[in-house]
Amino acid sequence: MNNKEILALNDKEEIIKALEEKYPGAIDHVRSILKIIGEDPSREGLLDTPYRVVKSFLELYGGYEQDPEEILGTFFEDDIGEQTDEIVMCRNITFYSQCEHHMIPFSGVCHIAYLPDKKVVGLSKMARLVEAFARKLQIQEKMTSQIADTLMNVLKPQGVGVIIIGKHLCMCSRGVRNHTSDMVTSAMRGKFKNQPQTRNEFLQLIQML
């Protein structure tokens, strides 16, 4: 049974059985963590927490079961590059991820743009691509490059631009505890890197210039 099939189950006991079969010991490990932080896993409010945590991991870290290149495998192929040299863009794609350093969430928006050559992809595929990379332990810098490189490898466009703006709870809730800062990362490929006018148009479209 794969993770999607487990998440589709409605009966609690069936879910627990499926989790214990596929991930033996995981629920008990969560109980141990609750004890480590000073909690009593046997108290009423926490009785179901261990299995709920493990179940939530199937969704939060669902990116490990996705192939990003397969997401872009359905595309429209045409010599569109001969018809237009305009940017195709999907902006304000929301994402939620987990910092690989502390396993604390970070979230934000991702802007993706590309200059087609012979392939164009459906708009939803760009959002799904972001989710595939976000739903795993990540760092924002790496995720930005992974999205850009996958688009370049599969669609072979004239260029790709990716900008991510993220808010990191590992910085807000612990350590320096700075609540107002955000992190901006970019990955420019092809004409977005080599042609200033293309890059500037992208930045203007997302209102960063």
If asked whether residues 143 and 186 sit together in one domain, one would say yes
Distance CA 108, CA 181 (A): 12
- The residue-averaged pLDDT of 87-99 equals 96
Query: Side by side, which strands form the sheet with 137-138?
Result: 137-138, 88-99, 105-115, 159-168, 183-190
Higher pLDDT, 75 or 143: 143
In a shared domain, residues 10 and 40:
yes
pLDDT of 37 strictly over 60: yes
> In the prediction, which pLDDT does 80 show?
62
Identify the pLDDT of residue 84: 60
Q: Are residues 109 and 132 in the same domain?
A: yes
pTM for this prediction: 0.90
User: What is the rounded CA–CA span in Å between residue 141 and residue 131?
Assistant: 15
Q: Are residues 42 and 113 in the same domain?
A: no
Check pLDDT > 70 for residue 81.
no
Within 8 A by CB and 6+ apart from 135, the residues are 59, 60, 61, 62, 63, 64, 66, 96, 97
Q: What is the pLDDT of residue 176?
A: 76
Distance CA 158, CA 134 (A): 25
Mean pLDDT for the stretch of residues 66-95 = 83
Same domain, 74 and 131: yes
pLDDT at residue number 172: 77
Q: What is the pLDDT of residue 197?
A: 94
CA-to-CA distance for 132 and 146, rounded, in angstroms?
10
One domain for residues 97 and 131: yes
Instruction: Share the mean pLDDT of the chain.
Output: 92
Let me know if residue 65 belongs to a domain.
no
The answer to the question of residue 41 being in a domain is: yes
Q: Is the predicted pLDDT of residue 27 greater than 70, yes or no?
A: yes
* Domain shared by 74 and 49, yes or no: no
pLDDT tens digits, one per residue of 182-209:
999 999 999 999 999 999 999 999 987 5
Question: In terms of domains, do 111 and 177 share one?
Answer: yes
- When pLDDT is averaged across residues 3-23 and rounded to a whole number, the result is 94
pLDDT score, position 71 = 93
Q: Are residues 56 and 82 in the same domain?
A: no
Where in the chain does DSSP place strands (E)?
Answer: 75-77, 88-99, 105-115, 119-121, 137-138, 159-168, 183-190
Number of domains into which the chain is organized: 2
Looking at the domain assignment, is residue 179 inside a domain?
Answer: yes
Catalytically active residues are 99-102, 140, 168, 170
Residue 177's pLDDT is: 77
What is residue 209's predicted lDDT score, i.e. its pLDDT? 56
Q: Check whether residue 77 and residue 22 sit in a common domain.
A: no
Does residue 45 sit in the same domain as residue 82? no
Q: Containing domain of residue 49, as a range?
A: 3-60
Cα–Cα distance measured from residue 167 to residue 107, given in angstroms and rounded to the nearest whole number: 5
The torsion angles phi and psi of 88, rounded to 5 degrees, stand at -105, 130
CATH code of residue 101: 3.30.1130.10
- Mean pLDDT for the stretch of residues 110-133: 94
